[in-house]
Amino acid sequence: MRKTFNTDGYCDPEQNYMVDLSDRLRTIKGMVDEGKYFTINRARQYGKTTVLLALSDYLKNDYTVFSLDFQTISYADFETEQRFVAAFSREILDYR
Give the global pTM. Answer: 0.77
The phi-psi region of residue 49 (left if phi > 0; otherwise alpha if psi is between -120 and 50; otherwise beta) is: alpha
- My answer on whether 54 and 81 are in the same domain is no
- Model confidence over 2-22: pLDDT tens digits? 999 998 888 999 999 999 999
Domain that holds residue 17: 1-63
Half-sphere exposure of 15 (CA within 13 A, CB side): 7
Q: Is the domain of 39 the same as that of 83?
A: no
Same domain, 7 and 28: yes
Domain identity same for 48 and 91: no
- Total domains in the fold of the chain: 2
Q: Are residues 9 and 54 in the same domain?
A: yes
Residues 23 and 48 in one domain: yes
Mind listing the pLDDT tens digit for each residue in 26-65? Answer: 999 999 999 999 999 999 888 999 999 999 999 999 999 9
Q: Please check whether residue 10 is in contact with residue 53, taking contact to mean a CB–CB distance below 8 angstroms.
A: yes
